[in-house]
Chain A
Amino acid sequence: MTTTAPRGTAPAAPAPTAGTRERPDDPFVIAGEELPSRLILGTGGMRSLDELRGALVASGTSMATVAVRRVGPGGPGGLLALLDELGIRVLPNTAGCGTAAEALLTARLAREAFGTSWVKVEVIADDDTLLPDAIELIDAATALVDEGFTVLAYTNDDPILASRLEQAGCAAVMPLGAPIGTGLGIRNPHNIELITSRISVPVILDAGIGTASDACLAMELGCAGVLAASAVTRAQHPALMARALADAVSGGRAAARAGRIPRRHLAEASSPDAGRVTPLDPPPGGGTVR
């Protein structure tokens, strides 16, 4: 055995080359503000504040959504204080709104209550599908942009509607993978890929995430981030699922940047053909060579 390293000296690590060095990721920026994590957590459906805390910490998220509702008899509760304590940005949503007028009032109340002009605009058509009402959504997004809001628009997986929302001045578009709370994953990956290839504001996959592979696929399709709520809050072990989604988002992002191989119909050997060793010709009589 030979070695080039002098005895007693650890061999030097190979110098990184351009081909092996990892390229640092671009920052995740919405409306000029950098978010440290590409995973946004929805807080809806959590069974307790303690469980929510565990999931938020495990997810490493830097932004979480809240809904705007009338104050209950017990007062505001501890949700805002928890997010504040963990240094997590509040993203109010307009969940439950069915018209642009309702979404406008909710967004204005949220700005007043939480001191943020960021809003995730949802305008829902009906309670069975919870699908966005495209016409009300465009009206609400346009009006809120005019009022100076930073609008993140929850939308259908429709590339044309996504373009319209970008033209209306939305800071991010958030197409659904599947209806809210279904955990059905990404039903139309082709459309999501079309959206990410045609939109220059961040595309954040929202709704439909069921498990880690869904979040990974979203990132592989070119999404800038993922929002998950039920997938985490209704998992048997929310903190563990939060961690899994964070890893999946990170892995999917790296894969998207790495450039996947093209799909082929037939096999293509990765080992060289040259230099293969072949057995002797079979003996006369057709006996088996062992």
Chain B
Amino acid sequence: MSPASVNGQPAEGLDGITIAELVARQGLPGRGIAVARNGEVVPRSSWSTVTVESGDTIDIVTAVAGG
């Protein structure tokens, strides 16, 4: 199984950690970001229970300047 990818980059050693841990490892603030796992939004209330598995596609987004 391929490793999970985070924002398009393969990331080793994430299997089994929670979304909350992933966000913390990336040094991201809790506010102003959102996380999708395999194209589905992971609500903030589930960050501490949903885990990253092999092959997952994780996207972490925020606000950028845009029209």
Contact = CB atoms under 8 A, between A and B. Distances in A.
A92 B63 CA distance: 8
B34 A44 contact: no
Given A105-B36, A109-B34, A79 B63 contact: yes
B13 interface: no
A109 B41 CA distance: 6
A155 interface: no
A114 B32 contact: yes
Interface in A101-135: 105, 108-110, 112-114
Interface string A214-230: 00000000000001011
Nearest to A106: B61
Interface in B15-67: 26-29, 31-36, 39, 41, 43-44, 59-67
A235 interface: no
Give the secondary structure class of A's interface. mixed
A44 B8 contact: no
A79 B60 CA distance: 16
Nearest to B63: A66
Contacts, number: 99
A65 B67 contact: yes
Contact of A67 (B41, B60, B64): B64
A86 interface: no
Interface in A12-71: 42-46, 52, 65-71
Contacts of B67: 42-45, 65, 67, 93, 95, 180-181, 207, 227, 229-230
Interface residues of B, number: 25
A71 B66 contact: no
A106 to B, nearest CB: 8
A43 B60 contact: no
Interface string A72-90: 0001110110000000001
B8 to A, nearest CB: 7
B59 A75 contact: no
B36 A65 contact: no
Which of B7, B27, B66, B67 has the most C-beta atoms of chain A within 10 angstroms of its own C-beta? B67
Task: Identify the interface centre among B7, B28, B33, B62: most chain A CB within 10 Å of its CB.
Answer: B62
Given A69-B62, A229-B67, 15 more contacts: A44-B67, A45-B65, A45-B67, A67-B67, A68-B63, A69-B64, A70-B7, A70-B61, A76-B29, A76-B62, A80-B62, A109-B36, A113-B62, A114-B63, A180-B67
Q: Identify the 6 closest CB pairs spanning chains A and B, nearest first.
A: A67-B66, A113-B34, A42-B67, A229-B67, A112-B34, A66-B63
Interface of A: 42-46, 52, 65-71, 75-77, 79-80, 90, 92-93, 95, 105, 108-110, 112-114, 180-181, 207, 227, 229-230, 233
Interface of B: 7-8, 26-29, 31-36, 39, 41, 43-44, 59-67
7 contacts: A43-B67, A46-B65, A66-B63, A109-B36, A227-B67, A230-B67, A233-B65
